[in-house]
Structure 1
Amino acid sequence: MSIHPTAIVASGANIDPTVEIGPYAIIEDEVTIGAGCVIHPHAVIKKFTTLGNNNLIHAGAVIGDEPQDLAFLGKPSYVRLGDHNIIREYVTIHRGTTPDSQTVLGNHCFLMACSHVGHNCRLGDRVILANGMLLAGHVTVGNNAFLSGNAVVHQFTRIGRLCMLSGGSRMVMDLPPFMMGHGDSDCVGINRVGLRRAGYSAQQIMEVRAAYRLLYLSGMSFTKAIGQLEESSPNELVQEIIDFIKAPSKRGIAGPPPGARSKSNRTSDDE
């Protein structure tokens, strides 16, 4: 174990012998740090935090601090990180609000500088948060989602798998899998590049695009569009969209950008 002499490491921390801890880092009691982790200078790992293996924590990051929630009563709650995550400078990740609740990150996530993960959030695997990206409490983010710089996501919002959220966006409603969010909670299309990079075929991507057009550009209600999709023997990706929209939601489902439905329904004479 390599611990810089200026680091402060509590005697009650459980640290693998292969961990490296840099100058002026602080590791509190009841922290577990797995094999191969590197803790850079001035990083702070608060109590009730567990880091899996091979995580890289950059300078000034704070993991496991108390939630920014007036309902917090000071009881034990937790932060759990999986393996191979990169946490860049001044990222903050807060522990759960209610007793024994958790904030959870999966594996291979990349949280860029100054991004924030609020209490009770759950991030899947290979999630990317760009610089200044802010997640409020109880947000769920699916695998392989990319949330761009200085975007904000309202509490209890769900972001589906392989979604792309543009920089500076404000997402206050749920964004279904494979979709692109932009502006003020607008669903503006599918994440075609992300789907292609994930190895999905042109046919699968075309069917996701057709599902988007039916849901967002046809003028149908979500209920009617979902019924029509279910009758069409959807592929696994479209079924994932259906299941996401039908699942319980506290925020509702993001809609199309203003005017998108009316524009899609124009005749050639209108244009």
Structure 2
Amino acid sequence: MALIHPTAIVDPGAELAATVQVGPYALIGAGVRIGEGTRIGGHCTLEGPMTLGRDNVVHPHAALGCAPQDKKYAGEPTELHIGDRNTIFQFCTFSRGTTQDAGVTRVGDDNWIMAYVHLAHDVQLGHHTILANNATLAGHVHVGDWAIVGGLTGVHQFCKVGAHAILGFQSHVSQDVPPFMTVSGNPLSVAGINAEGLRRRGFSRERIGLVKQMHKLLYREGLTLEKAREAIAALKGMVEDGDADIDTLLSFLAASTRGIAR
């Protein structure tokens, strides 16, 4: 049996694995599914339909699976899916999706999500990300793997943040942030690439040099976006394992709908 504090309230329609722990005064609603080894802190509220995977740690006062803050929402059974091994700190709020999108807000695996972070409806958060205190992702925002969002940073609805990007403290993000880039400020500016992050993730010197070259073509040569994409594509075959990095950037640019931060 799950270890449930006697003051917690768990709806009979919730499904908790045998090794789940639930702290005092927590509220687990119907349609909530929680995987093995996950710990729910005191005073948390989890509303279904939602799935929370294995070995997550949810600190006190988090509210997960809440109804979307969207006036068009009319009670449809949308969902929140959270993967494995995430750490979710105090007072975080994650909303379910809406029928205007896929109907599911998704959080991947191995994310470090600090206090007071808000994930609005239909957010798609990847794996291994870090969201610092009070980071706020509006509806339909997509964040790629290994991205870092600084404290008090707001990301406008429908924006995309690419893999390995880093958003500085208190940034105002109203356009898409390409992979590998470091951005900050209001208005937002691109400072360079996330070289230290790439080194920590095992990128070779040559791959980091390739990313620097792509940044130069995109931001320092005065090229149109289309010409920059062509020049970046021409770099293929030059660096071992570098073609995947080129594809990551080119795919992101092709999918951008709000224009990129430049």
Q: Which residue of 1 aligns with 2:14?
A: 13
* Corresponding residue to 2:226 among 209, 223, 226: 223
How far does residue 144 in structure 1 lie from its aligned partner after superposition? 0.7
The reply on whether 1:173 has 2:180 as its aligned counterpart is: no
Q: Which residue of 2 aligns with 1:197?
A: 200
1:193-252 C-alpha deviation (Å, 9 max, x unpaired): 0110110001110111011011101111111111122223263212321221122x3211
> Which amino acid counterpart does residue 241 of structure 1 have in structure 2?
L
Give aligned pairs, total. Answer: 254
Separation in 2 of the partners of 1:220 and 1:110? 37
Q: Which runs of 4+ in 1 moved over 6 A?
A: none
Letter in 1 for 2:146: N
Matched, 1:245 2:246: no
- Which letter maps to 2:259? G
Q: Counterparts of 1:88 and 1:233 in 2: how far apart (Å)?
A: 41
**Amino acid corresponding to residue 52 of structure 1 in structure 2:** G
Take 1:98 and 1:72, find their aligned partners in 2: how far apart are those partners? Answer: 8
Computing the radius of gyration over CA atoms, which structure comes out larger, 1 or 2?
Answer: 1
Q: Which of these residues, 123, 126, 136, is aligned with residue 125 of structure 2?
A: 123
| Residue aligned with 2:232, SS | helix
Q: Distance in 2 between matches of 1:213 and 1:143?
A: 23
TM-fit CA distance, 1:98: 1.3
The 10-residue stretch of structure 1 (178-187 or 65-74) with the greater mean CA deviation from structure 2: 178-187
Equivalent residue number for residue 187 of structure 1: 190
Query: How far 1:14 sits from its partner (Å)?
Result: 0.5
Q: Which residue of structure 2 aligns with residue 89 of structure 1?
A: 90
Alignment partners' CA distance in 2, 1:202 and 1:177: 18
Identity of aligned pairs, percent? 40
Q: CA deviation at 1:186?
A: 1.8
TM-score (norm 2): 0.94
Distance in 1, Cα, partners of 2:44 & 2:166: 29
Alpha-carbon distance in structure 2 between the residues aligned to 1:108 and 1:54: 10
**Aligned mate of 1:159, from 158, 161, 164:** 161
Distance (Å, rounded) in 2 between the aligned partners of 1:124 and 1:112: 16
What SS does the corresponding residue of 1:228 show, helix, strand or coil?
Answer: helix
C-alpha distance in structure 2 between counterparts of 1:209 and 1:122, whole Å: 27
Contact 2:181 2:193 in 1 (8 A): yes
Instruction: Report the aligned-residue RMSD.
Output: 1.1
Please give the per-residue CA displacement for 1:63-113, whole angstroms capped at 9, x wherever unaligned: 000111111111100000000001100000000121771000000111100
2:224 and 2:217 map into 1 onto residues whose CA distance is: 10
Corresponding residue number in structure 2 for 1:25: 26
TM-score (structure 1 length as normaliser)? 0.91
Q: For residues 111 and 176 of structure 2, what CA distance do their matches in structure 1 show?
A: 21
